[in-house]
Structure 1
Amino acid sequence: MGFILEGLDAEAYDRSYSDRQLIGRIISYFRPHLSLMLSVAGLIVLNSVMDTAFPVLISQSIDTMVTDKVMQTAIWLVVFILLAAVFSWTCNLFRQWFTARAVGNVVLQLRKDAFSSVMSRDMSFFDEFTSGKIVSRVTSDTDSFATVVTLTLNLLSQILLFLLVATILFFRNWQLALLACIILPAIIVVALGFRYIARRATRNAQRSLARVNANVQEVISGITVAKNFRQEQNMYDEFKQVNKQSYQVNVRSGFLYNGVFPVLVLIANLGTTIVVYFGGQNVLNQTLSAGDWFLFVQGIMLLWMPVTSIASFWSQFQLGLAASERVFALLDAEPRVHQIDGQPVAQLRGKIEFQRLLFSYDDRQTVLPNFSLTIQPGETVAFVGHTGAGKSSIAKLVARFYEFQGGQLLIDGHDIRSFDLHDYHRRLGIVPQIPFLFSGTVADNIRYAHPDATYEQVEEVAKRIGGGDWLEALPDGLQTEVGETGKALSMGQRQLVALARVLLQDPAIIILDEATASVDPLTEAQIQEGLDVILQDRTAIVIAHRLSTIKHADRIIVLNRGHMVEEGNHEALMQRGGHYSQLYNTYFRHQSPDYKPGEGFVPVLLPVEEEEEQEQATLH
């Protein structure tokens, strides 16, 4: 049991909804299609009436032939039965067609809402929850949602049929009808008892499917690393385990769902047996006609068929409700980044002020305990420090990807929380260390932030990056296909495309996660030329990994556990002989053109007391 349910816990944003809440939300999606649904409802009524007419007409024809021997009447009844069958089939055809249209429209809208909800989530959401499971909710769960809608409409048809048949049977012989209804409480008890077990089983089945999707997506995304380290077998073994868990969960669910139907059929057959025996006795006693007895035998099947069908379809019904619950939980997930206003951002000068900023990714560890810093418009500031010092966190806060817990972050004197984020991000350019390109051409990716840009504008921007020499290495120039995630290009070419994309955007603030960290020296020179163009007259926050970027910065900020321990330019910090000189000798010295292995390494270490005094002096 532990293995079967291991890893199937709810996500942090999951929540439980009652059936009433779920059905209410589902109905709200159908309100725009009210006229179509009224047509479906009318066809359901007609279809149910025609289905009910079959046993009534047959019963009447039996009594007519037994008593009056009037074949003409019987022939007319047969004609009416055929006409009722044709009319019932026609009503059912149009009902299914209208239902398919209505359900398709609703699923289309729900999937739009789910995708829009995903797009509106902040970056912390994607850091915490795996993308495969999110994809599963947008795709698989919205498809399962269609199941619950279709079954709900079938449920209405079945209930109406039940009411019509029950009314006719009670009208013909209320004693026999009441006797047949003895088994009704037993069916209701079994169906309701199954309801509570089914929701939990279907929820686990959906989670196991999401886990399989997440595993497959992770494997495909990391296949290069897996093959490099020859880990195909380990990844396959891990998939086998996840897939086996999904198999066992589905086997348990299938056994549960398939086990309830025979029980309900057995109970319903007991009701049929009661009707056949006591109805037959009444016919022999001549208190019930042969036609009415046939009507009861056929009617009792129509009577229990809706009840047993509802219960047997309960697995799919619960599957749809569980899927709806997961989709609605995604829609209702609370954002962590809260804007207090939506002021438009027409233009920015680029002044950034951190005022006693407090930030942590969770409640366990504070990344920036009390961070204060002012970056002037047009200034390039490089952040250096050991892993975990807070460099990337500062960049993510300026990008408004995360919510800070205390203090203020001002852009041009305005609280960053007061901006319309869509407008603000248009004034913000981000160049990641590993750029992501979308399938399409180089030109398509450059104009990604400015879709209306002409080909001439794209070409002009591309030629400003590295003098445009990099375009000659592309097989088809700007029309070169980049492939999935840009795999058809080298890492350096991808980075040059990313720089051109940002230059076309023309932002006021640049966030640069060291674009030259993973490229060859020639490409690094081209990228550095592109950076000189991009950073000119723009405020830039640089997470530095290369010596060339550090030396070009107007100011270097040295971070240690979220505290700013030093600041200044390269020469001044080296002369100070503090933290920066240690970082330089450790990480950057070997990047210098005059560096010779084994020579020139002069560690500058401060006594612990002096180091602590310097940190405190910087903070105050």
Structure 2
Amino acid sequence: MGFIMDGLDAEAYDRTYKDSQLIARIIGYFRPKLLLMLAVTALVVFSSLLDAIYPILISNTIDTLVLSKVWQTALLLVGFVLIAAVLSWTCNMFRQWFAARAVGDVVLQLRKDAFSSVMDRDMSFFDEFISGKIVSRVTSDTESFATVVTLSLNLLSQVLLFLIIATVLFFRSWHLALLTFSILPLIIVVALIFRAVARRATQRSQRSLARVNANVQEVVSGITVAKNFRQEQSMYNDFSGVNKQWYKVNVLSGSLYNGIFPVLVAIANIGTTIVIYFGGSNVLSHTISAGDWFLFVQSIGLLWSPLTGIASFWSQFQLGLSASERVFALLDAEPRVHQIDQQPVKQLRGEIEFKDVYFSYDDRQTVLPSFNLKIKAGETVAFVGHTGAGKSSLGKLVARFYEFQGGKILVDGLDIRTFDLAAFHRQLGIVPQVPFLFSGSVADNIRYARPEAAYKDVMAVAQRIGGGDWLEALPEGLDTQVGEEGKALSMGQRQLVALARVLLQDPSIIIMDEATASVDPLTEAQIQESLDLILEQRTAIVIAHRLSTIRHADRIIVLNKGLVVEEGNHEHLMQQAGHYAELYNTYFRHQSPDYRPGEGFVPVAQQLKDEGVA
């Protein structure tokens, strides 16, 4: 049992809602469709009245035949039954049509809200939670949400039918009606017991499906790595495990749901037996007519169908409520990045200042204990340091991808938390180490930051990147399709497209996780030339991986455990023979033109001599 439930715990942002809260929010989504839903409700009522006519007309027909044997009356009643059947079919058709339109529109809006909520989440949300499970909430759960409404409309029709038939039965024979309803408390008790376990079962089913979706997405995203290390079988085994878990969870749920229906049918059959026995006795004693007795027998199915339906289809109802609960939890997830104001952002000069900034990702390990630094407008600052020193975190904080817990970050003297984020991000260019391209053409990806940009502007920017020589290698120039995630292009070409995209954006501040790794020397030269172009007269925070970038920086900031331990240019820091010199030997020495393979650690004095610094 433990294996079956492994990994099916709620996410940290999940919350529990009462059924009344869920239903109230669902009704809120249907409020704009009020007129359409009123029409559906009216058709449900009319359809229920027509369905209730069947047993009543047949009952009257039996009494008419028994009493007077007037065949003309019987034929007339048969005609009424046929007319009622046609009207009932017509009502149901329009009811289904209107309901499908209303439910479809609501699911469309809910999916838009869920997707918008995902777009509004900060980067820490995506770092913490698996993307495949988030996708499942936006797609599968919003679809399941429609089940609640569809089932509710069907049950509403049956409940109305129940009330109409019950009223008629009490009017015809109240004592036989009381006998008929004697099993009602037993059905209600069974339904409530089933209800208590149905929600947990459906939640586990949804979570297991989310695990399957997450696994498939991870496999597809990492298929290159898997094939490189020949791990296809291992990935298949992982998928087989989560898929088997989904199977077992749904078998348990199915057994639970299917087990309740025979119990309810057995209880309903007891009620039918009571009606047949006592009703037949009353007919023989002439207490009730044969037509009334038939009415009771014929109506027994109509009476128990809504009650057994509520219980036997409770799985679907709970599935819809569980799905809506997961979607609403996504909508209600608290953002971690909080803006204290939404001030418009004018053209930025790009001056950045960190004042006693404290930052931790998980409240357990401090990344920046008390960080202080001022970056002048137009200055290029390269951050270097061992892994975990806090280099990338600084760029993420400036971009407002994460919330810092203490201190201030000022841009042009203003608290970054007071900016309108959309306006601020328009003046912020980000160059990741591994560029991501969307499906479409090269031109589409370059104009991603400025969709309104004309083709000639895109071409002008592309020709400025690397002198435009890289365009000649593209089969169709700017119209070349990049494929999924840009896989139709080489890594170097993808990086050049990403740089052109930033250049077209024309931001005031650049945050760059240096993009010159894993490319050939010619492409690296083109990228470096493009970087020089992009960084010109812009403030730049560079997470440096290449010696060439460090040498071009106005200032090098050496970090250790979230603190500035050294700063200056390359020559100055090398003369200090401190932490930077150690990093140079570890990470950058092999990139020097005079590097001799196998020479190992070179004393700082020798490095300075080789480079003509001392």
Give the structure-2-normalised TM-score.
0.98
Give 1:35-50 correspondences, 5 Å limit: 35-50=35-50
Contact 2:383 2:558 in 1 (8 A): yes
Q: 3-state DSSP class of the match of 1:448?
A: coil
**1-side partners of 2:29 and 2:144: how far apart?**
15
Give the corresponding residue for 2:224: 224
Give the drift of 1:602. 2.1
Whether 1:78 and 2:78 are equivalent positions in the alignment is yes
Amino acid at match of 1:301: G
Contact 2:61 2:77 in 1 (8 A): yes
Give the drift of 1:426. 0.3
Give the corresponding residue for 1:142: 142
Amino acid at match of 1:267: I
Give the corresponding residue for 2:110: 110
Give 1:292-331 correspondences, 5 Å limit: 292-331=292-331
**2-side partners of 1:557 and 1:27: how far apart?**
56
Please list the CA deviations of residues 293-345 of structure 1 after superposition, one character each: whole Å capped at 9, or x if unmatched. Answer: 11000111111111111111100000000000000000000000000000111
Give the corresponding residue for 1:238: 238
Give the corresponding residue for 1:617: none
Give the drift of 1:518. 2.2
Give the corresponding residue for 1:362: 362
Q: 3-state DSSP class of the match of 2:389?
A: coil
Give 1:370-449 correspondences, 5 Å limit: 370-449=370-449
Runs of 4 or more above 4 Å deviation: none
**1-side partners of 2:404 and 2:153: how far apart?**
48
Give the drift of 1:11. 0.2
**2-side partners of 1:446 and 1:235: how far apart?**
35
Give the corresponding residue for 2:183: 183
Give the drift of 1:47. 0.4
Give the corresponding residue for 2:8: 8
Q: 3-state DSSP class of the match of 1:153?
A: helix
**1-side partners of 2:505 and 2:294: how far apart?**
79
Q: 3-state DSSP class of the match of 1:94?
A: helix
**1-side partners of 2:592 and 2:144: how far apart?**
59
Q: 3-state DSSP class of the match of 1:334?
A: coil
Amino acid at match of 1:164: I
Give the drift of 1:407. 0.2
Please list the CA deviations of residues 144-202 of structure 1 after superposition, one character each: whole Å capped at 9, or x if unmatched. Answer: 00111101111211211111110000000000000111100000000011001000000
Give the corresponding residue for 1:63: 63
Give the drift of 1:598. 3.6
Contact 1:257 1:312 in 2 (8 A): yes
Give the corresponding residue for 1:460: 460
Contact 1:578 1:604 in 2 (8 A): no
Give the corresponding residue for 1:611: none
**2-side partners of 1:192 and 1:319: how far apart?**
16
Q: 3-state DSSP class of the match of 1:364?
A: coil
Give the drift of 1:564. 0.6
**1-side partners of 2:393 and 2:263: how far apart?**
59
Give the corresponding residue for 1:514: 514
Please list the CA deviations of residues 88-115 of structure 1 after superposition, one character each: whole Å capped at 9, or x if unmatched. Answer: 0100000000000000000000000000
Whether 1:51 and 2:51 are equivalent positions in the alignment is yes
**2-side partners of 1:9 and 1:443: how far apart?**
44
Amino acid at match of 2:385: G
Q: 3-state DSSP class of the match of 1:286?
A: coil
Please list the CA deviations of residues 328-378 of structure 1 after superposition, one character each: whole Å capped at 9, or x if unmatched. Answer: 000000000000000111210000000000000011100000000000000
Give 1:203-214 correspondences, 5 Å limit: 203-214=203-214
Give the corresponding residue for 1:609: none
Give the drift of 1:394. 0.3
Question: Which structure 2 residue ranges, 5 or more long, are not aligned?
Answer: 606-614
Q: 3-state DSSP class of the match of 2:453?
A: coil
Give the corresponding residue for 1:614: none
**2-side partners of 1:73 and 1:161: how far apart?**
26
Contact 1:63 1:291 in 2 (8 A): yes
Q: 3-state DSSP class of the match of 2:142?
A: helix
**2-side partners of 1:196 and 1:145: how far apart?**
20
Give the drift of 1:521. 1.1
Please list the CA deviations of residues 12-42 of structure 1 after superposition, one character each: whole Å capped at 9, or x if unmatched. Answer: 0000001100000100000000000000000
**2-side partners of 1:529 and 1:466: how far apart?**
6
Give the drift of 1:604. 4.8
**1-side partners of 2:521 and 2:562: how far apart?**
32
**1-side partners of 2:174 and 2:416: how far apart?**
74
Whether 1:585 and 2:597 are equivalent positions in the alignment is no
Amino acid at match of 1:241: G
Give 1:152-191 correspondences, 5 Å limit: 152-191=152-191
Contact 1:581 1:603 in 2 (8 A): no
**1-side partners of 2:413 and 2:163: how far apart?**
69
Question: Which structure 1 residue ranges, 5 or more long, are not aligned?
Answer: 606-620
Please list the CA deviations of residues 441-479 of structure 1 after superposition, one character each: whole Å capped at 9, or x if unmatched. Answer: 000000000001011000000011110000011111101
Contact 2:574 2:604 in 1 (8 A): no
**2-side partners of 1:192 and 1:516: how far apart?**
64
Give the corresponding residue for 2:119: 119
Query: Structure 1 residues 101 and 600, CA, compared in 2 at 3 Å: closer, same or farther?
Result: closer
Give the drift of 1:599. 4.1
**2-side partners of 1:185 and 1:451: how far apart?**
64
* Larger deviation, residues 154-163 vs 443-452: 154-163
Amino acid at match of 1:532: D
Q: 3-state DSSP class of the match of 1:287?
A: coil
Identity over the aligned pairs, expressed in percent?
Answer: 78
Amino acid at match of 2:404: F
**2-side partners of 1:168 and 1:518: how far apart?**
82
**2-side partners of 1:499 and 1:152: how far apart?**
54
Give 1:268-347 correspondences, 5 Å limit: 268-347=268-347
Query: Structure 1 residues 249 and 603, CA, compared in 2 at 3 Å: closer, same or farther?
Result: farther
Query: Structure 1 residues 297 and 473, CA, compared in 2 at 3 Å: closer, same or farther?
Result: same
Q: 3-state DSSP class of the match of 1:282?
A: helix
Give the drift of 1:87. 0.4
**2-side partners of 1:114 and 1:286: how far apart?**
64
Give the corresponding residue for 1:610: none
Amino acid at match of 1:10: A
CA-atom RMSD in angstroms:
0.9
Amino acid at match of 2:206: Q
Q: 3-state DSSP class of the match of 1:449?
A: coil
**2-side partners of 1:517 and 1:347: how far apart?**
32
Contact 1:392 1:543 in 2 (8 A): yes
**2-side partners of 1:233 and 1:319: how far apart?**
34
Contact 2:355 2:371 in 1 (8 A): yes
Give the drift of 1:601. 3.9
Q: 3-state DSSP class of the match of 2:171?
A: helix
Q: 3-state DSSP class of the match of 1:510?
A: strand
**1-side partners of 2:438 and 2:249: how far apart?**
37
Give the drift of 1:515. 1.0
**2-side partners of 1:58 and 1:317: how far apart?**
34
Give the corresponding residue for 1:615: none
Please list the CA deviations of residues 67-96 of structure 1 after superposition, one character each: whole Å capped at 9, or x if unmatched. Answer: 011111111100000000000010000000
